[in-house]
Every structure is written in structure tokens, then in C-alpha cells.
Amino acid sequence: MSEPSDLERLKALDDRLARLKKAQAPAPKTAQGHEMANHAWRMVTELVAGLLIGFGIGYGLDTVLGTMPLFLVLFILLGLVAGIRVMMRTAADVQRQSMREAATAAQDEGD
């Protein structure tokens, strides 16, 4: 027969292994795929919004001032740059979040 301390240690080890297996279980593919699709649509929307705002401002100024292609082209380019900057910021946020999750998983694994 095993001593009670051995049984307790084996039970603690079994509990720890169960927690680690649960933590390492892969996330459902559909949930992860939908999350990435949401991030992609968000980035596309940010880019298009920047372009549309630039187009609106440029067209409005050109109509008021009578300089048709000048401000339109300028503000479309500025809207494109602004949209790309917002997209890059969103991508950095997503990357930071995934790094945090990986660090948390690694820390849980070490416990």
C-alpha cells in the first residue's frame, strides 16, 4: 500500500496535469477564424472610412473654391495615409493582445 502522502502527491500531480492539458487545448477553429475575420473587416473599414472622409473634404473644398482636382487628390491621399496609420495601430493592438495571451498561457504552464 502507498502512504497517504504518496496518494496526495499523485492526486496533486494528476490535477496539475489536467489543468495544463486544459490550458493547452486548442481554441475552436471557428471562433479563432471569426475573430481574425472581424479584425480584417475592421481594418478594411478603417481604410475605406479614411478614403471617404478625404474624398468628402477634398470635393467640398474644390466645389467651394473652384479648384476641382487639386484638393480632391490631396485629401484623398491624406485620407489614405490616415487610414493606413489607423490600420497599423489596430494591427499593433492585435499583436500586443496575442502576445499577452501567449505570456499568460506560458506563465500558467510554468505554475
Rounded to the nearest integer, the mean pLDDT of the chain is: 88
- Contact status, residue 69 vs residue 105, Cβ threshold 8 Å: no
Q: What is the mean pLDDT of residues 76-100?
A: 94
Cell of residue 54, nine digits:
478625404
Domain residues for the domain of 75 are: 29-110
In whole angstroms, what is the distance from residue 95 CA to residue 43 CA?
A: 14
pLDDT band at 10 (very low <50, low <70, confident <90, very high): confident
On whether residue 1 sits in a domain, the answer given is no
On whether residue 24 sits in a domain, the answer given is no
Instruction: Give residue 1's pLDDT.
Output: 47
On whether residue 2 sits in a domain, the answer given is no
Checking if the pLDDT of 24 tops 70, the result is: yes
On whether residue 98 sits in a domain, the answer given is yes
Instruction: Give residue 57's pLDDT.
Output: 96
How many structural domains does the chain have? 1
On whether residue 34 sits in a domain, the answer given is yes
Smallest Cα–Cα separation from 41: which of 1, 80, 79, 94?
94
pLDDT band at 3 (very low <50, low <70, confident <90, very high): low
Alpha helices by DSSP H, listed for the chain, are: 4-24, 29-65, 68-110
* pTM score of the predicted model: 0.66
